[in-house]
């Protein structure tokens, strides 16, 4: 039986940060664009005859060029049907260039060496906002198939998109604007209100809810000047504790201050006892491993020194006892379910 005995210490997690890092301006965001087109110039790695939509698309393209040909008569394997996606940045102007992503939707083996034909890119409203065209680069987007061969079926076109229609965002003439916290938190919403009002020494910010802060522009400033100053103001930020676990690799990422409430649990041959007591010293005769961990008289017992009990310590202790990544993940999940860990647990 392997036993871990840990003791508790609450650690505060308040940091100073700029408002720009934790809040967005409502209405100022990227917009997703999508289109459908063909990639040509492939070396017999394009869609086969089973991709009927590709053959129909080729026929439609040729017909637009006054070449009448039936889809059934097209045998080319140098063409692939693709979906083109992109993000249009806020305040993008007509003629601006941006990167686009090209992804095969047929049975093409590779898009390497291909060129995307001119593609209208539409927004959610169905209107065309950009055009895309250019040579496809598949660097960094390869996947491995059988026999160790490379089969890249997605790629990038660097600066292959061109803005045709601008999305108008009129900030200059606004008297009011709204900030939205990236994560909902009542304390942080109030902290932003206090930081902004303290900076201007007047009531220009009001916290409306855990994510929303409404701002009123001072009379002596333009909205652009006002927002530039607001984004650069320092505030006290309360972080939301998270534990992120990569189930595939066994990687556990946790803040050093995430505490574990008292609990006694058993997982396989591992028993964990987390408790509060006045005497935080390990039994006499114990041997120190490092600044935080001590091996008890029983080699399977680990103790933490005063003021070091966190999720990070627990994980290190389990590793010292030879627990597998699967064991560590199962233990953290069980502690979360039992209420011993209050932090958000995210499995990726």
Q: Does residue 80 surpass a pLDDT of 90? A: yes
pLDDT at 93 over 90: yes
| Same domain as 256, residue 215 | no
How confident is the model over 3-19, as pLDDT tens digits? 544 433 333 355 678 99
Tell me: do 226 and 255 sit in the same domain.
no
Position 300 confidence tier, pLDDT thresholds 50, 70, 90: low
The helix-helix angle for 186-200 and 223-231 (nearest 10°) equals: 120
Residue percentage of the chain with pLDDT more than 70: 80
263-267 and 270-274 strand pairing = antiparallel
Claim to verify: residue 250 and residue 330 sit in the same structural domain = yes
pLDDT at 146 over 60: no
For residue 24, pLDDT over 90 is answered with: yes
Is residue 83 a part of any domain in this protein? yes
Number of compact structural domains in the chain: 3
The structure's pTM equals: 0.65
Residue 161 neighbours by CB distance under 10 Å: 28
Write out the residue range of the structural domain in which residue 254 sits. 241-347
Same domain, 309 and 343: yes
Establish if 9 belongs to a structural domain. Answer: no
CA angle 199, 91, 135 (to 5 degrees): 135
* Stronger pLDDT, 243 or 293, i.e. the higher one: 243
- Tell me what the pLDDT averaged over the chain comes to: 81
Q: Higher model confidence: residue 340 or residue 205?
A: 205
Instruction: Specify the pLDDT at position 10.
Output: 36
Residue with tokens 């701002």: 215
């Amino acid at each position: 039986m392997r036993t871990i005995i840990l003791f508790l210490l609450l650690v505060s997690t308040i940091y100073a940060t700029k408002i720009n890092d934790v809040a967005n301006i409502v209405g100022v965001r990227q917009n997703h664009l999508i289109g459908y087109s063909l990639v040509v110039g492939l070396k017999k790695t394009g869609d086969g005859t089973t991709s009927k939509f590709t053959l129909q698309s080729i026929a439609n393209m040729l017909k637009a060029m006054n070449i009448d040909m039936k889809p059934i008569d097209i045998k080319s394997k140098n063409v692939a049907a693709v979906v083109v996606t992109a993000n249009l940045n806020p305040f993008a102007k007509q003629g601006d260039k941006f990167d686009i992503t090209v992804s095969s939707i047929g049975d093409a083996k590779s898009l390497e060496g291909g060129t995307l034909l001119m593609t209208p890119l539409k927004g959610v409203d169905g209107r065309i906002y950009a055009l895309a065209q250019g040579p496809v680069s598949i660097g960094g987007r390869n996947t491995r198939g059988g026999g160790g061969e490379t089969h890249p079926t997605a790629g990038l076109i660097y600066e292959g998109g061109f803005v045709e229609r601008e999305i108008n965002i009129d900030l200059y003439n606004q008297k009011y604007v709204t900030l939205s916290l990236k994560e909902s938190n009542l304390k942080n919403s109030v902290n932003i209100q206090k930081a902004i009002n303290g900076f201007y020494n007047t009531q220009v910010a009001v916290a409306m809810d855990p994510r929303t802060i409404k701002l009123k522009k001072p009379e002596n400033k333009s909205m652009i000047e006002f927002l530039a100053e607001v984004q650069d103001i320092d505030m006290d930020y309360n972080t939301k504790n998270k534990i992120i676990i990569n189930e595939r690799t066994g990687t556990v990422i946790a803040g050093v201050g995430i505490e574990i409430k008292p609990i006694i649990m058993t997982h396989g041959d591992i028993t964990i006892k987390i408790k509060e007591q006045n005497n935080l010293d390990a039994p006499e005769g114990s041997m120190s491993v490092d600044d935080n961990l001590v091996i008890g008289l029983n080699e399977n017992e680990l103790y933490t020194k005063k003021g070091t009990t966190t999720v990070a310590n627990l994980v290190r202790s389990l590793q010292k006892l030879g627990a597998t990544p699967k064991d560590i993940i199962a233990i953290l999940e069980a502690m979360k379910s039992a209420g011993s860990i209050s932090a958000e647990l995210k499995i990726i």
